[in-house]
Chain A
């Protein structure tokens, strides 16, 4: 799987949008971009994923650049409960392959 690069930490004020960047310059054509988050001492939680088009769900939006070498996860109105480690992962959706986690970005939301 291609590797990703994320900033180790980010801060965000409550109520503001949190924009988390991810570089995946070696992504291949059949690899998807996944975002998960992990709140302290819990299992990872799925947020969103996409291939080339921008995606939006009830939790977040995913913006993927046209060349697919980077993406941004947007939490439109961050709350204190969004404080977590956010992982950007690229993976070929070949059946049976596990998600491989990098170091992620620790997002701290403060009031």
Chain B
């Protein structure tokens, strides 16, 4: 099956700093990747859709200047949480669509962000 990795798996940072999370499709090309956020005991919430070589599309209520998404290659998308605050502490999960015109969506293992 298709594999999606995330790095780091967990990170702790101080309030006011920025954190970058990487999402890689290891054995396939992904023109489209998605970023989700999940708070404790809640479901996954879609944050943004990232297409290779173009600007990300953010869901309503998600600040694009706070959550910077870059999808510079067909196998890598990054999410940067800028000026992180404790309320940004969450489980961030990326997902990738395999190939063009694809609907098979594969998920990464998630990144646990804790802002102190």
Report which A residues bind B (CB closer than 8 A).
Answer: 36, 38, 41-46, 87, 91, 93-104
Contacts and interface: CB of A to CB of B under 8 A. Distances in A.
Contact of B43 (A46, A97, A104): A104
B4 to A, nearest CB: 8
Contacts of A97: 103
Contacts of B95: 43-44, 98-99
Interface in B69-116: 91, 93, 95, 97, 100-103, 105-110, 112
Contacts of A46: 105-106
B27 to A, nearest CB: 15
Contacts of B43: 87, 101-104
- Overall SS of chain A's interface: loop
- Overall SS of chain B's interface: strand
B109 A43 contact: yes
B67 interface: no
15 contacts: A38-B44, A41-B112, A43-B93, A43-B109, A44-B107, A46-B105, A93-B103, A95-B97, A95-B100, A95-B102, A96-B32, A97-B103, A98-B105, A99-B95, A100-B46
Contacts of B93: 43-44
Contacts of B108: 43
Contact of B49 (A36, A44, A96): A96
A37 B54 CA distance: 31
A29 B88 CA distance: 39
A102 B36 CA distance: 13
Interface string B45-70: 11001010000000000000000000
Nearest to B93: A43
